[in-house]
């Protein structure tokens, strides 16, 4: 979330009735566009609807380590993944935290127990105690998330375990997070060049040899069938370390990530089109010094598209009778116009079903209009964080392409290659095996032993957590398997099973023998 959407960017907003003007009073469309528009034949508007996953011929994906379901709230404003954090020698249950999947934030941070901000009072908090004197502070424009850093945290993410990982533990978070289902942010920057000495999760896993490639992919808004999840709304797939062919069709088009101080996934749109008509922007906006191309930041932590106000007015001027309050816009709901972004030699198209939000009610003076999911906010990109340089005017006027855009693409975030790939996404997939994958440790000294899952008591959990050494190796020991009556209910809720080959380690002895262990999430 490179933005300070306390004002706007978490979702499209209705215009303020007291200050409405016609966009044409601010910015007129080119005469050539008006002629083009009048010559167009009328088309049938596309209706917004979510794909229903019922087709037995859906592409089948075999679940594997590195995969994680993406969930959303009911309004599809926030998209999150479940991440588990714990400290060695801690007896706390391993309940996962909901972290916003955010390619616009520089690192991972979570709500800490010391946090008294409003957002922290309504969501689960991280109970880690081993905080260092080092601090972090991450700007979100209208506020900051700040606190201390812990370097003694183990993280379970995408079925992989990181030990002694540095995480920001917030004692204060900005008000823009109020009311959202989240306990922090999973920052996924283009590199680890932040000033807080907090590292990229994906890069750390690749360096440790846990994943093959220093990249991740996001398939947002994709239907997923065959999951065992019923409590939350599944809204896509997050994969680290590999590109799953079944998630897209055609060619992946790569655009280079432009170097910037803030590790944003910043690239260039070569041309914007309304229908097939090229849009010309005002040269006063210092965004690449061009009237056709625009620098953009691909930001999964933002919902809408956020443009400098001049660019937003220019783009909306191509929509007849659109109106604005200066920040938020409204477009006639019966529009049939498409918007296309030319990136890496291909066009990526938004239809009215994508860029139109809620319709104004029948009793409203704006009945017939829909909220635009394209907003105009100046200085929206946060350009200061701990250790970062001074504000960069060019970056501050970059566009933000949020989930409205990401739902239309299969996105490859290639950290090693410093490039971002886009392809046509599949609408839905079926999971061909159980979404109960194993969790393998980062350290290559760990290996998997197949066998019968045996429930583990709280005593084993304590041993499990306390056995993580500085090199992420379990020491030789034996643990007796419990009886049903001795199984801890609190540990069952943590959802961990220990698997071992009982035949090899004799009766009722389980799990930690000669640096061999496997843990499964359930």
% helix / strand / coil in the chain, to the nearest 5? 15, 35, 50
Separation between Cα atoms, residue 323 and residue 346, nearest integer Å: 31
Give CA 399 to chain center in angstroms: 17
Question: 460: which residues sit within 8 A by CB, 6+ positions away?
Answer: 479, 482, 498, 510, 511
Question: Which 3 state secondary structure label does DSSP give 442?
Answer: coil
Nearest Cα neighbor of 123 from 167, 67, 185 is 185
Name the β-bridge partners of 160: 157, 440
Catalytic residue among 102, 235, 311, 354: 102
Q: Which residue has the tokens 């749109």?
A: 269
Nearest Cα neighbor of 340 from 395, 398, 405 is 405
Question: Which 3 state secondary structure label does DSSP give 239?
Answer: strand
Cα dihedral 342/345/350/351 (nearest 10): 110
Question: Which 3 state secondary structure label does DSSP give 48?
Answer: coil
Catalytic residue among 95, 178, 232, 299: 299
Query: 86, 92 in Cβ contact below 8 A?
Result: yes
Tell me which DSSP letter residue 189 carries: -
End-to-end CA distance of the chain: 30
Question: Which 3 state secondary structure label does DSSP give 227?
Answer: coil
What element of type H or E holds 496?
A: strand 496-500
Query: 22, 323 in Cβ contact below 8 A?
Result: yes
Cα dihedral 267/177/123/401 (nearest 10): -20
Query: 118, 80 in Cβ contact below 8 A?
Result: no
Nearest Cα neighbor of 432 from 167, 246, 251, 173 is 246
Annotated catalytic residue 378: no
Separation between Cα atoms, residue 491 and residue 93, nearest integer Å: 6
Annotated catalytic residue 102: yes
Tell me which DSSP letter residue 480 carries: E
**Where do the DSSP E strands lie in 39-143?**
60-61, 67-72, 79-86, 97-102, 109-111, 131-139
For residue 292, CA distances in Å to 279, 281, 359, 410 come to: 7, 6, 31, 25
Q: Which residue has the tokens 């972004």?
A: 341
For Cα atoms 308, 311, 316, give the angle at the middle one, nearest 5 degrees.
120
Q: What are phi and psi of 201, to 5 degrees?
A: -60, -45
Query: How many other C-beta atoms can be found within 10 angstroms of the C-beta atom of residue 455?
Result: 18
Give the active site residues: 102, 299
């Amino acid at each position: 979330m490179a933005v300070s959407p306390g004002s706007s960017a978490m979702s499209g907003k209705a215009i303020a009735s007291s200050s409405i003007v016609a966009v044409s009073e601010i910015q007129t469309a080119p005469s050539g566009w008006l002629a083009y528009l009048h010559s167009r034949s009328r088309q049938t508007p596309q209706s917004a609807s979510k794909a229903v996953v019922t087709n037995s011929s859906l592409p089948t994906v075999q679940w594997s380590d590195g995969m994680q379901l993406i969930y959303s709230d009911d309004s599809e404003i926030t998209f999150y993944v479940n991440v588990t954090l714990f400290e060695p020698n801690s007896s706390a249950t391993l309940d996962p935290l909901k972290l916003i999947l955010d390619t616009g934030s520089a690192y991972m941070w979570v709500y800490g127990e010391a946090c008294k901000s409003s957002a922290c009072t309504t969501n689960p908090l991280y109970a880690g105690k081993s905080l260092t004197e080092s601090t972090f502070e991450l700007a979100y424009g209208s506020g900051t998330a700040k606190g201390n850093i812990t370097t003694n945290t183990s993280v379970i993410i995408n079925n992989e375990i990181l030990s002694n990982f540095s995480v920001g533990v917030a004692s204060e978070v900005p008000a823009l997070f109020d009311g959202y289902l989240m306990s922090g942010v999973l920052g996924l920057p283009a590199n680890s060049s932040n000033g807080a000495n907090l590292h990229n999760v994906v890069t750390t896993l690749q360096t440790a040899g846990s994943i093959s490639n220093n990249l991740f992919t996001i398939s947002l808004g994709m239907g997923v069938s065959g999951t065992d999840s019923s409590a939350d709304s599944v809204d896509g797939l997050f994969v680290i370390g590999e590109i799953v062919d079944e998630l897209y069709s055609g060619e992946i088009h790569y655009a280079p990530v432009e170097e910037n101080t803030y590790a944003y996934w910043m690239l260039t749109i070569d041309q914007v089109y309304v229908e097939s008509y090229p849009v010309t922007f005002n040269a006063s906006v210092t965004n690449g010094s061009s009237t056709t191309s625009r620098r953009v930041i691909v930001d999964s932590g933002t919902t809408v598209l956020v443009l400098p106000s001049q660019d937003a007015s220019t783009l909306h001027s191509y929509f007849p009778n659109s109106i604005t309050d200066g920040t938020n816009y409204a477009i006639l709901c019966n529009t049939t116009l498409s918007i296309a972004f030319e990136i890496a030699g291909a066009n990526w198209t938004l239809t009215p079903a994508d860029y139109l939000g809620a319709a104004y009610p029948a009793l409203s003076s704006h009945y017939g209009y829909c909220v635009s999911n394209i907003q105009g906010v100046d200085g929206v990109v946060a350009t200061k964080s701990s250790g970062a340089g001074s504000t960069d005017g060019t970056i501050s006027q970059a566009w933000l392409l949020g989930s409205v855009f990401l739902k239309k693409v299969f996105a490859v975030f290639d950290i090693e290659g410093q490039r971002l790939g886009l392809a046509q996404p599949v609408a839905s997939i079926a999971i061909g095996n159980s979404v109960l994958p194993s969790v393998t440790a980062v350290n290559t000294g760990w290996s998997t032993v197949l066998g019968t899952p045996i429930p583990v008591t709280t005593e084993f959990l304590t041993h499990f957590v306390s056995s993580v050494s500085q090199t992420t190796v379990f020491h030789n020991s034996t643990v007796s398997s419990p009886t049903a009556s001795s199984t801890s209910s609190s540990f069952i809720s943590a959802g961990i099973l220990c698997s071992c080959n009982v035949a090899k380690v004799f009766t009722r002895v389980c799990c930690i023998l000669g640096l061999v262990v496997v843990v499964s999430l359930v």
